[in-house]
């Protein structure tokens, strides 16, 4: 007895050790798979066109990179293993039952057909509920993200109650969806428990009659029922395992919805027209057209037939009314959007036939709405020039009048926080401008980069920016006369076309539309 007890103890210890080893062997590679899939998704999102991100809510992408991949890992770690093991156990177990006593085995097999039909119906309904729930979680994530990033607006307008109501409403919808899934699973589980129990009861009655008649021994009946009862857990667990498999299937589907979105090819098309004529160096727009992919067919393109030549070393200010397409035109130069017609050349080379990496080495951009990242002020600026030296950083900060960074707690190495919200609007804009000029780009595209600056700071930035513009080819979206005066020439964008090009004083004399735009800007407006 002592020896037997010792053997049992050793078996228990071995079982515990093997259980821990199994969990470690499963968890380690699955954690690696999850991390690799998340890294692949993030890398893919960086390569997708801007139009994709314009259509997709950020919360939907976040939920795919976090909750969905977590569901997939959990399914691979536990339910998938037991789904395979329990399925094999059920098949082998029923084969043994039929071999032991085929008549009673057929009685136990009777519920199989209705259970298969029930499981098929359940999978269809549950997959719909799982998809709806996961999409709603994505919407909920979007609301949380917007609420955090827009907390100043929410507090400033006293909208915290309405935001809370919107969040609560969506949370209740998520709750109702989850309860609907729970009702489906409860109904399936009840039937999965009931039908096999009824079959076992019928087999017990039939087997007892056969034992009483002498057609079967009591030992055979006990062995048969022991085998049948051993199959109860594998059968009962199928409801839970099927539910987990559907959750994982819909999570995988959502993941690959984002992964299957086509990336921007590095080389999109060959330049059919070859080099531009001699003397046409600089930035040239030739019959450029652009239409958003989701725009109705009867709506005219945003840009149609834009022709503009910015000579090498020249600065051209781009002005126009609200909705004229200025920002869209500037976004075509670094290929944030692809022109749907015509072509754009840099020093005679078609940008559509240029690798994006090379294009973005040549072209630097600064947008009206500056975007900063959760990094130091220096890191945010140096994103504009990989490997730039400290001297280049200081020069860029001086040009953009961003010397305020040295007064921060850790100087230029101070964390600026998410979206740079620890800084003022003008400070963020100056850092964005520094990022644009730090790499001494060959071509510079600025979308109203001084709109958030006060008059004194604007004058200082303009004075320093003139030196930068003297050594580069620049296209500057301008809304104020002070910005226009930085340019050698001015281009008026109207109706999706370049309506007039000339010096500032010439357009004031010859273009009524230009005079109206400048007079509105001079009066303090900000026409866009």
Mean pLDDT of 103-132: 86
Percent above pLDDT 70 for the chain: 95
Residue 489's pLDDT is 93
Mean pLDDT of 236-257: 88
Residue 526's pLDDT is 41
Residue 525's pLDDT is 45
Residue 297's pLDDT is 80
C-alpha 407: how far from chain center: 36
pLDDT at 528 over 50: no
* Residue 329: pLDDT band with limits 50, 70, 90: very high
**Short-list 458, 479, 465, CA closest to 364:** 465
The CA distance from 310 to 312, in Å, is: 7
What is the residue extent of each domain of the chain? 1-44, 62-259, 282-522
Q: Which residues of 428-463 are buried (b: 16+ CB within 10 A; e: fewer)?
A: bbbbbbbbbbbbbbbbbbbbbbbbbbeeebbeebbe
Angle between helical axes of 160-213 and 238-259 (0-180°, round to 10): 140
The CA distance from 307 to 64, in Å, is: 42
51-95 tens-digit pLDDT: 888 888 888 999 999 989 998 988 888 888 888 888 898 889 888
- As a CATH number, domain 62-259 is 1.20.1560.10
pLDDT at 522 over 60: no
The answer to whether the beta carbons of residues 335 and 356 sit under 8 Å apart is yes
Run of H or E including 426: helix 425-437
The CA distance from 528 to 77, in Å, is: 55
Highest-scoring range by mean pLDDT, 157-166, 199-208, 496-505: 496-505
267-286 tens-digit pLDDT: 445 444 444 444 458 999 99
- As a CATH number, domain 282-522 is 3.40.50.300
Pairing relation of β-strands 341-346 and 349-350?
antiparallel
Residue 117's pLDDT is 86
Residue 478's pLDDT is 85
Q: How far apart are the first and last CA of the chain?
A: 92
3-state helix, strand, coil in the chain (%, to 5): 65, 10, 25
Mean pLDDT of 328-341: 90
476-503 tens-digit pLDDT: 998 888 888 888 999 999 988 999 999 9
* Residue 179: pLDDT band with limits 50, 70, 90: very high
Residue 175's pLDDT is 94
Arithmetic mean of pLDDT over the chain:
85
**Among the listed ranges 262-276, 292-306, 400-414, which one has the minimum average pLDDT value?**
262-276
Residue 462's pLDDT is 81
415-428 tens-digit pLDDT: 887 777 778 878 88
Residue 282 sits at φ, ψ, to 5 deg, of 115, -155
Residue 271's pLDDT is 46
Residue 468's pLDDT is 83
3-state SS class at 450 = coil
Residue 523's pLDDT is 55
pLDDT at 347 over 60: yes
Run of H or E including 316: strand 315-320
- Burial bucket for residue 191 (CB in 10 Å: 0-12, 13-18, 19+): middle
Residue 266's pLDDT is 55
21-48 tens-digit pLDDT: 888 888 888 888 889 999 999 999 988 8
């Amino acid at each position: 007895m002592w020896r037997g007890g010792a053997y049992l103890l050793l078996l228990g210890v071995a079982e515990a050790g093997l259980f821990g080893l199994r969990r470690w062997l499963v968890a380690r590679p699955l954690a690696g798979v999850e991390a690799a899939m998340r890294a692949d998704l993030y890398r893919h999102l960086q390569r997708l066109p801007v139009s994709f991100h314009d259509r997709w809510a950020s919360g939907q992408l976040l939920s795919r990179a976090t909750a969905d991949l977590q569901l997939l890992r959990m399914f691979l770690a536990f339910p998938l293993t037991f789904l395979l093991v329990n399925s094999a156990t059920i098949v082998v177990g029923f084969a043994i039952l039929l071999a032991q006593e085929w008549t009673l085995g057929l009685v136990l097999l009777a519920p199989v057909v209705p259970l298969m039909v029930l499981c098929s119906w359940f999978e269809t309904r549950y997959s719909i509920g799982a998809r709806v729930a996961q999409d709603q979680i994505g919407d909920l994530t979007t609301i949380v993200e917007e609420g955090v990033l827009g907390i100043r607006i929410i507090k400033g307008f006293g909208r915290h109650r309405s935001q809370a109501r919107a969040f609560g409403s969506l949370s209740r919808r998520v709750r109702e969806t989850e309860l609907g899934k729970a009702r489906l699973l409860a109904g399936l589980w009840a039937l999965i428990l009931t039908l096999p129990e009824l079959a076992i009861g019928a087999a017990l009655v039939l087997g007892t009659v056969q034992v009483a008649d002498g057609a079967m021994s009591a030992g055979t009946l006990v062995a048969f029922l022991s085998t049948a009862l051993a199959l109860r857990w594998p059968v009962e667990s199928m409801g839970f395992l099927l539910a987990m498999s559907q959750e994982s299937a819909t999570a995988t589907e959502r993941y690959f919805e984002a992964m299957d979105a086509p990336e921007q090819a590095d080389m999109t098309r060959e330049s059919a027209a070859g080099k531009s004529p001699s003397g046409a160096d600089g930035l040239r727009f030739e019959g450029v057209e652009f239409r958003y992919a989701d725009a109705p067919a009867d709506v005219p393109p945003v840009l149609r037939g834009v022709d503009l030549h910015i000579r090498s070393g020249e600065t051209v200010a781009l002005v126009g009314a609200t909705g004229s397409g200025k920002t869209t035109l500037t976004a075509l130069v670094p290929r944030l959007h692809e022109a749907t017609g015509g072509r754009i050349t840099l020093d005679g080379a078609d940008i559509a036939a240029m690798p994006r990496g090379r294009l973005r080495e040549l072209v630097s951009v600064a947008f009206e709405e500056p975007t900063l990242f959760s990094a130091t002020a220096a890191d945010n600026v140096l994103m504009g020039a990989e490997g730039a030296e400290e001297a280049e950083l200081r020069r860029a900060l001086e040009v953009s009048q961003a010397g305020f960074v040295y007064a921060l707690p850790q100087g230029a190495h101070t964390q600026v926080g998410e979206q740079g919200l620890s800084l003022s609007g003008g400070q963020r804009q100056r850092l964005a401008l520094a990022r644009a000029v730090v790499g001494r780009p060959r071509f510079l595209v600025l979308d109203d980069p001084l709109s958030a600056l006060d008059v004194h700071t604007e004058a200082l930035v303009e004075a320093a920016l003139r030196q930068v513009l003297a050594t580069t080819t620049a296209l500057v979206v301008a809304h104020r006369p002070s910005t226009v005066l930085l340019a050698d020439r001015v281009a008026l964008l109207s109706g999706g076309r370049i309506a007039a090009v000339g010096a500032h004083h010439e357009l004031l004399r010859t273009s009524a539309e230009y005079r109206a735009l400048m007079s509105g800007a001079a009066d303090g407006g900000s026409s866009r």
